[in-house]
Amino acid sequence: MQLLCSSGAFSRNPDFTNHHQVLAYAPFLDVDGFELMFYENWYAQFDVIVQDLQRSGLHFPAIHAEKNIGMALGSSQAERREQAVQWLSANCEMAQRLGSAVLVLHLWGWPELDDHLDYNLEPLRRCLDIAARYNVQLAIETIPARHTDPLTNVHKAIERDGRCYVALDTEFLGQSGQLESVFTTPWVWEELNGQQRVRHIHIKDFDGLPFSNGRRRYLHPGEGFVDFERFFVTLKQRQFDGNISLESPAIDHEGHVDIERLQRSLAMIRRMML
């Protein structure tokens, strides 16, 4: 296992998405690398951002694909789905140029979620072809679903094309009551190309209230109900060897970043990984 921190922990859409957030805050964190959050406004500055990040000397084992991709993949309009495929290609290119092995994808997206999952699945084979061309492992994340549960939808993607890898999220598995059953679901842990299918795990806590006063709530480990000690014991029993990524933000609505909070959470996770 290697410990990462998502750049989403110290950036925020739509107001604090400048890639200089990464350059400013990442050096303060004791991690093995970073999961780079790709934001919508990065397409227009693509080459500049890549060059700046390359020069930074930071290590990016994973990229979180831009979240509008999943929403566009679910569109009833073929041209909108085609746009999503082109966006995915740009995300894969950035991953290749930064040396990122894993691209985490929201295959479906808010607010429609899985209302039109057949549309989301229709371009999947092309998306995986593109990822393979860039030598990137495309990992479908277990994000919330409206019509079923996250694992069922990810399994549908794997049934559509067996080249899919998997990214787990502890908060979203907690929401769906799958934090324990995920470890007893055989297809989740099967091998793909000599590696476990699960390549990436987002660490966020959960207390049953993802929203408060209409705003999204994110909890750090120890602030909710998730038994992370047990989770990591079981993870080690499964001999997991992928990315562990803290995704809980420590940035407020004015853009202030609580580095000490991130450091405490990362230290807690590091201890449980040992």
Q: What is the CATH number of the domain that holds 221?
A: 3.20.20.150
Tell me what the mean pLDDT of segment 145-162 comes to.
97
Number of domains in the chain: 1
What is the reported pLDDT for 215?
81
Phi/psi for 165 (5° steps) reads -95, 180
What is the reported pLDDT for 255?
94
DSSP 3-state of 145: coil
* 71 — pLDDT class (breaks 50, 70, 90): very high
The pLDDT mean for the chain works out to: 96
End-to-end CA distance of the chain: 9
Q: What pLDDT, in 10s, does the model give residues 186-237?
A: 999 999 999 999 999 999 999 988 887 778 889 999 999 999 999 999 999 9
Tell me what the mean pLDDT of segment 66-88 comes to.
97
What is the reported pLDDT for 116?
95
Tell me what the mean pLDDT of segment 60-85 comes to.
97
Beta bridge partners of 62: 35, 102
% of the chain exceeding 90 in pLDDT: 95
Find, among 177, 273, 261, the residue nearest to 231 by Cα: 273
Tell me what the mean pLDDT of segment 144-167 comes to.
97
Task: Judge contact between 190 and 234, C-beta under 8 A.
Answer: no
Q: Classify residue 239 as exposed, middle or buried by CB count within 10 Å of its CB (0-12, 13-18, 19+).
A: exposed
Q: Tell me how far apart the alpha carbons of residues 72 and 111 are, in angstroms, rounded to a whole number.
A: 11
Q: What pLDDT, in 10s, does the model give residues 51-68?
A: 999 999 999 999 999 999
Q: Does residue 77 have a pLDDT over 90?
A: yes
Q: Which domain holds residue 69?
A: 2-273
Beta bridge partners of 245: 4, 202
* 92 — pLDDT class (breaks 50, 70, 90): very high
Q: Tell me how far apart the alpha carbons of residues 207 and 136 are, in angstroms, rounded to a whole number.
A: 34
Q: Does residue 129 have a pLDDT over 80?
A: yes
Q: Does residue 176 have a pLDDT over 80?
A: yes
Beta bridge partners of 167: 141, 200
Phi/psi for 137 (5° steps) reads -85, 115
Q: Does residue 105 have a pLDDT over 80?
A: yes
Q: What pLDDT, in 10s, does the model give residues 239-257?
A: 999 999 999 999 998 999 9
